[in-house]
Structure 1
Amino acid sequence: MKTIDQRLDALRERMRREHLAAFIFPSTDPHSGEYVPDHWKGREWISGFSGSAGTAVVTQTAAALWTDSRYFIAAEEQLTGTEFRLMKQRMAGTPSIAQWLAEELRESDSTEVGLDGMTNTYQEVCELKQDLRKRGGFTVRTNFDPLETLWKDRPEIPTRPVEMQPIELSGEETRSKLKRIRQALRSLHADGTLLSTLDDIAWTLNLRGCDVHCNPVFVAYLLISSHRTTLYINKVKLSAEILSYLTEQGVDVDDYENVADGLRHYSEYNILIDPTATCYTLARQVACQEVIFETSPVAEMKAVKNEAEIRGFRQAMLKDGIAMVKFLRWLQPAVKAGGQTERTLDEKLTSLRASQPLFRGVSFDTIVGYEAHGAIVHYEATAETDAVVEPRGWVLIDSGAQYEDGTTDITRTIALGPITDEQRRVYTLVLKGFLQLAMCKFPDGTTGTQLDILARQALWREGLNYFHGTGHGVGAYLNVHEGPQQVRMEWRPAAFHAGMTITDEPGVYLPGRFGVRIENTLLTIPGKTTEFGAFLEFDSLTLCPIDTTPIIVSLLSDDELAFFNHYHRRVEEVLSPHLEPEEQVWLKEATKPLTR
């Protein structure tokens, strides 16, 4: 594409003047965000690829983009007509960035690779430096951002106002959270820490914002020492009420741009810096005696929901379930009547959610994938791709909402008419994995990697698989993707404890044909305590019927069938009192027990 070609030409000219052989553009920002304000979407600007995960690398003669399996199909389409070559992460034959650079720069006069130290984490830069040094003595320069001059209409950093999260929803005062954070830091022999991740800051301060699309967070840093807490933020975002509240909670306020100076003048003996969440430039600014590079304790503290947050989740899921039932009841007749597309389905579902109390927006851009589009894991319909939805086959809808009392994330695959035997079989195998994870009981401290096989075993027996994670944490009116707990094939050491949320979302995607995913958000709750210790189990927060039309009941075990029917009975009992009579009739039919 002409625009991308022009940007690459301009970049390469700047690289020549700076004697750089290559430049690396990550998908993140100075706060290690998955979803970032437009100001930091440099990778999208230079490549045209809009996915939330990926890294673009440009040399004087080549360009490549690395992304994961969620975006393989979308990236192929968006990179078409540009110089960028798609690199499929974790697929056989795909080189790492360092391997590719070493090969591409073999004949280069320069051995210097550039990246912006403000948008790459300390750990990423250190690992890249070591890897490139081994592969030919390449060096990494971190103090240059070409976008400052090349991106002429670059959006400003947002200045939208910050809001309070009421104590009846947060469940704990900021003073108390800061006390617990300091106690956790002392157990790690640390005097203080810098919080860069925006959801950690919002949770700690019981504040919310709207600086990031779909995520109620605000751009800031929080520097915590043993005796002082300083919020670095653009002060125009703070009302007199918020400033008074922060003072009351023992939090000072300074300008966002002064965070590096604050680190240089940090007066404690040592500081904890999370190398996976703190950008390289700021990590290097600390001037105290010792830097402890360790995982921040705040993410795990935030992940364990208190009673008020759990109560809020249940309220939000009830509202979401009501909206989903209204939508599902409307869906098939509307499709049969004609005139519906992927985007009109999205608009209808969003409007039903928006009518619920405390609705604040969607928690991510809704995925409505009809038939073959369902095989594109993070598909988003555009004016060019918007497919007409017909009364045949099925549609995959992955959606969620931000309510002030909780965040939702749900996927349903819905048959709209005749479907194939292959679709029915794949759907049932995915459902088996979904049920096995939802049913499991496990010792406190089990990791998500240990649980992942439960969701995949029925698929693996048939030679099927999926390449995204099986589950992620969900924030309490915060980011829809939250950690540290995850369920996935790759090793993740974070342990599960009561109070943690997790999604349960296995799937199968057959490019050009169809995709299936079923997803609920679960809450980890206490189970039995035996001579072998405390056990945990999952309770479904999501309340919404699962389409029974495609299910091959004979493939379900007795336990799976009983669990499925019990879930549907609960959905009907909880949601029905909040529905209109005709909606109650529809729900009763949609949740009637399956029999052999």
Structure 2
Amino acid sequence: MFQSFTSEADPAKGAARLAALRERLASEGLRGFLVPRSDAHQGEYVAARDERLSWLTGFTGSAGFAVVLPEVAGVFVDGRYRVQVRAQVDLAAFTPVDWPEVQPGPWIASHLAAGIVGFDPWLHTADEIAKLETALQGSAVSLRAVPNMVDAIWPDQPDPPMGRAFVHPVALAGATGEQKRTRLAGILRETGQKAAVITLPDSICWLLNIRGADVPKNPVLHGFAVLHDDARVTLYAEPAKFDDAIRAHMGAHVTLRPPAAFVPGLHTLTGPVRVDKASAPLAVSQELEAAGVACVWGDDPCKLPKACKTPAEIEGARVAHLRDGAAMVNFLAWLDAEAPQGGLTEISVVKALEGFRRATNALHDISFDTICGAGADGAIIHYRVTTDTDRPVRTGELLLVDSGGQYHDGTTDITRTMAVGAVGDEERACYTRVLQGLIAISRARFPKGVAGRDLDALARAALWMAGQDYDHGTGHGVGAFLSVHEGPQRISRLSEVPLQPGMILSNEPGYYREGAFGIRLENLIVVTEAPPLGDNRPQFTFETLTFAPFDRRLIDLAMLSPGERAWIDAYHAEVLAKIGPRVEGAARDWLQAACAPL
């Protein structure tokens, strides 16, 4: 499916929809309602049916939430979306709120003297609601689980997705579904748990070696699952999505039941039942407790095994990145030839890049809507171009392109920022600092037990020394032909998860100057065991998976240390060696020049 450039949200209707929601709330005796971006599976990317936040407010970012009260409707977004939200919502109706600096509990208490705030328990986790209830203690505001109030006023809400499920072969997965089920069931028995409820679509797909088509750009299946301590799985998903081949693939120990049977199925379980407080809908634990089934909090048992890729998955990622790297080089060579002539726009650039990926004849889909920001649009961190915002690519400006592909053997995510013609010394200095941050992470060697929070500062040090920074994490986990954003691993000051071999992450420092330009550089990396050194303490390092050159015109050589300069030359030599044989003609000539030693 090619990327769409129309905006599904309609900010012009936001005020009317907000008024309708407030009228509905009043009729139900509610003084407020929480509108999250998430669906019942806590996915970052959601199906059209679950786009409640964008339908109501006009904000289309992939993270955020709204709190609707009688006199104010706050749209809470983090640093990635603060420029975007002000451009998308009706500011006379909605108030952007800087989150997490401002937390919803104190904000609600300061804007509502008393009353009940409703929430849909299928769209919020137990952890989330517990924190909010704690924050509201001492106020006259309380929370109540209610049917979804946005659904009640959305007359043409799309139907639930019905994408067909398909087999993910064991040769790419590196382990059979039976092996995975048996391994995790053993963990349940060791902890005395009879079952675990699994609600994350990528966890279900990983566990059963299947993929789906229910969420744009992410090959996942909507459903819920229960893993029993004898390695059986009950999968609650639309049976029409499964043909005979995939049913046979899952085997006799996987029972398929319709989604409507999920809640009754929970009531029949024997406890203790593991539920992930951070990812499962609150409704799951509520239903277990209502049925008298003992519920215990514990991590989704698939989360960490899924994050630590098998050798087959890592090799698949390597192959996918070489294929994707060749598509990127063809694109960058084309861009370098076409952009100075004028006539390109952000949309034409996005279409061209997708065309180069599709020309590989191996692309399943792009891994997210391509971010292509020319000039000032590059400062909108998660900018998505539409026909209304399409901007010319002008000489003398920077062009930021963040994109990726879903291939059956791996998921890619790469960002490059390019100069179109000559740009100023300030842009070059900022670019070089961002590149220094990427190099610092790439060269890192660290002890076992180190988490992403311990490495995040390495990517920011050069920017900090210039009084600069960026308002997003340095890296996110990446799935194996699954979600392009995958937990629990991150490179972020918020992440306490120790990094382990096999974890794939992004390495993407940036710098953004509102109204002027944006810079981000991104490679994917995988955690590996470091060669012995010194007193042979267990240490890890990173292997780079992404191969495409950086823009030499934007590198200020005087700012680089000898080690940084040597890293760039070695990286470019590897790009030329790995990608050179995969491209031809003008693209190969361009690559040869782009990878020449500094």
The bucket for the TM-score relative to the shorter chain is over 0.9
Residue 96 of structure 2 is matched in structure 1 by: 86
- Return the match for 1:103 from 102, 110, 126: 110
Residue 57 of structure 2 is matched in structure 1 by: 47
Deviation at 1:466, TM superposition (A): 0.6
Q: Write the mapping of 1:504-519 to structure 2, written as runs, cut at 5 A.
A: 504-519=507-522
C-alpha contact (below 8 Å) 2:269/2:293 kept by paired residues: no
**Structure 2 SS opposite 1:141:** strand
C-alpha contact (below 8 Å) 2:267/2:293 kept by paired residues: no
Which amino acid counterpart does residue 520 of structure 1 have in structure 2? N
C-alpha contact (below 8 Å) 2:116/2:144 kept by paired residues: yes
Residue 571 of structure 1 is matched in structure 2 by: 575
Structure 2 Cα separation of the partners of residues 288 and 15 of structure 1: 32
Q: Write the mapping of 1:162-177 to structure 2, written as runs, cut at 5 A.
A: 162-177=165-180
Change (3 A) 1:190 1:577: same
Deviation at 1:289, TM superposition (A): 4.9
Structure 1 Cα separation of the partners of residues 397 and 147 of structure 2: 51
**Structure 2 SS opposite 1:546:** coil
- Return the match for 1:76 from 86, 104, 124: 86
Identity %: 35
C-alpha contact (below 8 Å) 1:266/1:288 kept by paired residues: no
Q: Write the mapping of 1:381-396 to structure 2, written as runs, cut at 5 A.
A: 381-396=385-400
Structure 2 Cα separation of the partners of residues 2 and 371 of structure 1: 26
Q: Deviations over 1:433-481 (max 9, x none)?
A: 1100000111122100001111011111111001100001111000000
Q: Write the mapping of 1:241-256 to structure 2, written as runs, cut at 5 A.
A: 241-248=245-252, 250-256=253-259
Show structure 2 runs of 5+ residues with no match: 1-10
Structure 1 Cα separation of the partners of residues 413 and 531 of structure 2: 28
Q: Establish whether residue 7 from structure 1 lines up as the match of residue 17 from structure 2.
A: yes
Structure 2 Cα separation of the partners of residues 58 and 29 of structure 1: 18
**Structure 1 SS opposite 2:279:** coil
- Return the match for 1:533 from 517, 533, 537: 537
Q: Write the mapping of 1:197-276 to structure 2, written as runs, cut at 5 A.
A: 197-227=200-230, 228-248=232-252, 250-267=253-270, 269-276=271-278
Structure 1 Cα separation of the partners of residues 442 and 263 of structure 2: 45
**Structure 2 SS opposite 1:574:** helix
**Structure 2 SS opposite 1:284:** helix
- Return the match for 1:425 from 404, 414, 429: 429
**Structure 1 SS opposite 2:423:** coil
Deviation at 1:258, TM superposition (A): 1.4
C-alpha contact (below 8 Å) 1:102/1:135 kept by paired residues: no
Q: Establish whether residue 151 from structure 1 lines up as the match of residue 154 from structure 2.
A: yes
Deviation at 1:327, TM superposition (A): 0.6
Q: Establish whether residue 330 from structure 1 lines up as the match of residue 334 from structure 2.
A: yes
Structure 1 Cα separation of the partners of residues 162 and 421 of structure 2: 48
- Return the match for 2:281 from 259, 279, 293: 279
Deviation at 1:396, TM superposition (A): 0.6
Q: Write the mapping of 1:106-117 to structure 2, written as runs, cut at 5 A.
A: 106=113, 108=114, 111-117=115-121
Which amino acid counterpart does residue 281 of structure 1 have in structure 2? A
Q: Establish whether residue 407 from structure 1 lines up as the match of residue 417 from structure 2.
A: no
Structure 1 Cα separation of the partners of residues 200 and 184 of structure 2: 15
Structure 2 Cα separation of the partners of residues 49 and 540 of structure 1: 34
Residue 22 of structure 1 is matched in structure 2 by: 32
**Structure 2 SS opposite 1:114:** strand
Q: Deviations over 1:193-250 (max 9, x none)?
A: 11101111111111111111111001111101112310000111010111222234x1
Deviation at 1:487, TM superposition (A): 0.4
**Structure 2 SS opposite 1:3:** helix
Structure 1 Cα separation of the partners of residues 301 and 254 of structure 2: 19
Residue 499 of structure 2 is matched in structure 1 by: 496
Structure 2 Cα separation of the partners of residues 325 and 481 of structure 1: 24
Structure 2 Cα separation of the partners of residues 90 and 221 of structure 1: 30
C-alpha contact (below 8 Å) 1:410/1:520 kept by paired residues: yes
Single out whichever of 81-90 and 403-412 deviates more from structure 2: 81-90
Deviation at 1:529, TM superposition (A): 4.0
Structure 1 Cα separation of the partners of residues 415 and 192 of structure 2: 43
Deviation at 1:44, TM superposition (A): 1.4
Q: Establish whether residue 316 from structure 1 lines up as the match of residue 320 from structure 2.
A: yes
Single out whichever of 386-395 and 112-121 deviates more from structure 2: 386-395
Q: Deviations over 1:242-271 (max 9, x none)?
A: 1222234x111111121111111112x311
Deviation at 1:356, TM superposition (A): 1.0
Q: Write the mapping of 1:55-66 to structure 2, written as runs, cut at 5 A.
A: 55-66=65-76
C-alpha contact (below 8 Å) 1:122/1:279 kept by paired residues: yes
Deviation at 1:187, TM superposition (A): 4.1
Q: Establish whether residue 561 from structure 1 lines up as the match of residue 565 from structure 2.
A: yes
**Structure 2 SS opposite 1:533:** coil
Deviation at 1:16, TM superposition (A): 1.1
C-alpha contact (below 8 Å) 1:177/1:204 kept by paired residues: yes
**Structure 1 SS opposite 2:251:** helix
**Structure 2 SS opposite 1:549:** helix
Show structure 1 runs of 5+ residues with no match: none
Residue 360 of structure 2 is matched in structure 1 by: 356
Deviation at 1:2, TM superposition (A): 5.1
Which amino acid counterpart does residue 46 of structure 1 have in structure 2? L
**Structure 1 SS opposite 2:441:** helix
Structure 2 Cα separation of the partners of residues 136 and 532 of structure 1: 56
Change (3 A) 1:243 1:82: farther
Structure 2 Cα separation of the partners of residues 114 and 506 of structure 1: 38
Structure 2 Cα separation of the partners of residues 188 and 53 of structure 1: 34
Which amino acid counterpart does residue 582 of structure 1 have in structure 2? A
Structure 2 Cα separation of the partners of residues 164 and 572 of structure 1: 35
Which amino acid counterpart does residue 97 of structure 1 have in structure 2? P
Number of matched residues?
Answer: 584
Change (3 A) 1:423 1:62: same
C-alpha contact (below 8 Å) 2:33/2:149 kept by paired residues: no
Structure 2 Cα separation of the partners of residues 431 and 100 of structure 1: 38
- Return the match for 1:584 from 571, 582, 588: 588
C-alpha contact (below 8 Å) 1:10/1:150 kept by paired residues: yes
Which amino acid counterpart does residue 49 of structure 1 have in structure 2? F
- Return the match for 1:485 from 467, 486, 489: 489
Which amino acid counterpart does residue 112 of structure 2 have in structure 1? L
Structure 1 Cα separation of the partners of residues 326 and 528 of structure 2: 24
TM-score (norm 1): 0.96
Structure 1 Cα separation of the partners of residues 468 and 257 of structure 2: 53
**Structure 2 SS opposite 1:458:** helix
Residue 6 of structure 2 is matched in structure 1 by: none
Q: Write the mapping of 1:283-322 to structure 2, written as runs, cut at 5 A.
A: 283-286=285-288, 287=291, 289-322=293-326
Structure 2 Cα separation of the partners of residues 527 and 297 of structure 1: 27
Structure 2 Cα separation of the partners of residues 289 and 11 of structure 1: 36
Residue 133 of structure 2 is matched in structure 1 by: 129
Structure 1 Cα separation of the partners of residues 168 and 393 of structure 2: 40
Q: Any runs of at least 4 consecutive aligned residues in structure 1 with deviations exceeding 3 A, and if so which?
A: 186-189, 529-532
Which amino acid counterpart does residue 287 of structure 2 have in structure 1? Q
**Structure 1 SS opposite 2:66:** strand
- Return the match for 1:469 from 473, 479, 499: 473
TM-score (norm 2): 0.95
Structure 1 Cα separation of the partners of residues 251 and 531 of structure 2: 44
Structure 1 Cα separation of the partners of residues 334 and 317 of structure 2: 26
